[in-house]
Amino acid sequence: QVQLVESGGGSVQAGGSLRLSCVVSEYTYSRNCMAWFRQAPGKERESVAGISGGSDSTYYADSVKGRFTISRDSAQNTVYLQMNSLKPEDTAMYYCAAGAGVYCSRWLARYAYWGQGTQVTVSS
């Protein structure tokens, strides 16, 4: 079974930075679409960023464009989310997800495997 393990969350001041990591147990899936989602209490899980397989094309939610960067290190079966200029509204549980194929989607059902999440808290 494919397992995803996130790390790098924590508490930071507004304007600070964090780098989230997601290690995928099966390298095949690390080469599929990989994406980050987040969910704040009482809110629906939302797409944050994704990186496709092959071309490594990326997409970002409007709320994080210019501040977050998704990348992958295929040799280490790892995807990253560099988060800069963090805002209190970025506070959420962040989840790494592995897609069922090469192409990315913001539809939750397109992702076959999910990590357990890592908490990001941004104070004002």
DSSP, collapsed to helix, strand or coil, labels residue 54 as coil
CA distances from 114 to 10, 47, 79, 91 (A): 19, 13, 13, 19
Reported as type and span, the H/E element at residue 65 is none
Sheet containing strand 18-24, edge to edge, reads 4-7, 18-24, 78-83, 68-73
Taking the CB of residue 58, how many other CB atoms lie within 10 A of it? 16
pLDDT tens over the chain, length 124 residues: 789 999 999 999 999 999 999 999 877 776 889 999 999 999 999 999 999 988 889 999 999 999 999 999 988 889 999 999 999 999 999 999 999 888 899 899 999 899 999 999 999 9
Contact 23, 8 (CB under 8 A): no
DSSP, collapsed to helix, strand or coil, labels residue 110 as helix
